Structure 1
């Protein structure tokens, strides 16, 4: 079991891999838990103070962890497989939930993390998962997003971005290459996991910036068109990271969504 603390003494170990994590607010025995799944260059530290504020705003526990190759988690072998997000959802995430003693949870993913959350909810029958918060999700590639990643590759090669990333990532080169080289692999152009949306059966909140440089509103329209479950959307005046660029609006939308889920959970069912 994990040490429910903001500064655990030891990482959690999943499939023999040490994963950095941090916990906030009430433990799973006392309240539902929000599981934070970071973006393609994210980690525990790069959520900044958002997890703690999120816990206070919602009254729920929050667990954030760094995937292999990110933050202070163990490095990853490169190149990553092109289905790395599906593998993370199927092979890693359920073990994280088990180790944390999760009883009821909301998966809150940003960017690649949002895709991982959606894949899990649409592929694994897990009644612990009561809702999804998808922030800037990707279900298929778009030319504008790939162009932005190509620009990021140039920035990494010509600026001090690697040194800046080293403040948060044990292996900044591996973290960047594992993200960039996979997305820009020619074989990744046809990547599409939108079919998982068809199988999601829990309420979804989607948060997206109008100016998102990595994905258009076509990603959100895909959810609204295909979903058989309730979908709420919050389209905000920001770019790719609403929780950092529009924190109040993001927290307001997330807080309302979580409160509604809690009301549904607590409602008494009266027999007809």
Structure 2
């Protein structure tokens, strides 16, 4: 089945413009939720690489991926970010994006920051969210989180490091600002109070909570604590030989697990 991809520029409230990529299956029956992909703290549409296409083919679902404020072709941001920026992205901006895109029923698939945003979004959007997949999401800050961020900052600042150049391929002149937005927010005094547990009890949809066993930014307890607070409709999955980016480091296992999860909920359709 052919998938047509369209780059869209969505106009939101407060003069915000959001760039998105929307993949739709040609001549397919409706009724299935659209997969909405939510990127990491230093991500963008391009950094998902082949994941949108692969998920569209494997699940038979339409796929929608967008860049949050400050990223890619979306409106810029200013620093400092508020302490509740992730909560705002999930509770305020995600619903606005879905409204502007004309998406009613969705499955949220988020990675890292995007996973945390997906948790909040699932809590506030009710039955519009039919399923949730969170990869390497944080519900609080643990010692491994801070250690991983500080190691990345040291690497970024080390002369001769390839990290700034690699990020600049995707973020261009916004690279330094986005890197600062990430590490300065997570390591500043006061942000240690970040805690998404109060949101989790409002998640009613089936949830797959995934993380690599070798994730350098979060302890495994993040997964199990998230599932405990969501309840029996949440399923934990730890991926062996995998770090912080499951969909790129272990794509076959990760995308296969997502597809199997959605098939079990009858939220996919034959793509052939």
TM-score normalised by length of structure 1: 0.89
After superposition, the Cα gap between the structure-2 partners of 1:84 and 1:216, relative to the gap in structure 1 and judged at 3 Å, is same
Does the CA-based 8 Å contact 1:75-1:174 persist in structure 2? no
Deviation at 1:221, TM superposition (A): 1.4
SS of 1:257's partner is helix
- Give the distance between the partners of 1:221 and 1:69, measured in 2 at CA: 31
Who is 1:269 aligned against?
none
Deviation at 1:181, TM superposition (A): 0.7
Deviation at 1:25, TM superposition (A): 3.3
- Give the distance between the partners of 2:181 and 2:41, measured in 1 at CA: 9
* Equivalent residues in 2 for 1:256-271, closer than 5 Å: 256-262=260-266
Deviation at 1:243, TM superposition (A): 0.5
After superposition, the Cα gap between the structure-2 partners of 1:95 and 1:215, relative to the gap in structure 1 and judged at 3 Å, is same
- Give the distance between the partners of 1:156 and 1:262, measured in 2 at CA: 44
Within the candidate set 162, 165, 179, 1:163 is matched to 165
- Give the distance between the partners of 1:42 and 1:263, measured in 2 at CA: 27
- Give the distance between the partners of 2:164 and 2:16, measured in 1 at CA: 24
RMSD, matched Cα: 2.1
Does the CA-based 8 Å contact 2:9-2:19 persist in structure 1? yes
After superposition, the Cα gap between the structure-2 partners of 1:110 and 1:264, relative to the gap in structure 1 and judged at 3 Å, is closer
Deviation at 1:71, TM superposition (A): 2.0
Post-superposition Cα deviations, 1:180-204, rounded to whole Å, max 9, x if no partner, equal 1100111111211112111111100
Deviation at 1:215, TM superposition (A): 0.4
Who is 1:250 aligned against?
254
**Structure 2 gap ranges (5+):** none
- Give the distance between the partners of 2:267 and 2:58, measured in 1 at CA: 16
Who is 1:20 aligned against?
19
Does the CA-based 8 Å contact 1:131-1:204 persist in structure 2? yes
Who is 1:178 aligned against?
181
Post-superposition Cα deviations, 1:148-175, rounded to whole Å, max 9, x if no partner, equal 1011112222224223222211411121
* Equivalent residues in 2 for 1:25-104, closer than 5 Å: 25-26=24-25, 30=30, 31-104=32-105
* Equivalent residues in 2 for 1:222-261, closer than 5 Å: 222-237=225-240, 238-261=242-265
